[in-house]
Amino acid sequence: MITSKQRAYLRSLANAIPAIMQIGKGGLNDNLLKTVSDALEARELIKLHVLENSGEEPRAVLNTLADALGAEAVAATGRKIVLYRPSEKKPMIELPRV
């Protein structure tokens, strides 16, 4: 569990990164979960775009992904969502201490 200060730090880092994937009408499936998990292992912090035709609310998608992947839900702003999970092999982002 991350603190609000750590979440704010991650949000500030996420401002500079582009959305690397889109979640569309296919919704959340096994292939998408695997791809997002691989991206989290490689990057630790990722931004996704939830398209209007997905039929899902971005906050619900964020919470579902976070639960399924063991990640932290950082932010849901508009149709963009941000996830964080430290890399098991090579951590790059150092969170501020509380």
pLDDT tens for 50-59 read 999 998 999 9
- The C-alpha atoms of residue 59 and residue 36 are separated, in whole angstroms, by 16
For range 5-9, the mean pLDDT? 96
Q: What is the pLDDT of residue 79?
A: 96
Amino acid at 26: G
Overall fold of domain 4-84: Translation Initiation Factor IF3 (3.30.110)
Q: Which of 47, 56, 55, 44 is nearest to 77 (CA)?
A: 47
Q: What is the pLDDT of residue 12?
A: 96
Per DSSP, 52 falls in state G
Q: What is the pLDDT of residue 7?
A: 96
pLDDT tens for 66-92 read 999 999 999 999 999 999 999 998 899
Q: What is the pLDDT of residue 98?
A: 76
Q: How many other C-beta atoms can be found within 10 angstroms of the C-beta atom of residue 46?
A: 23
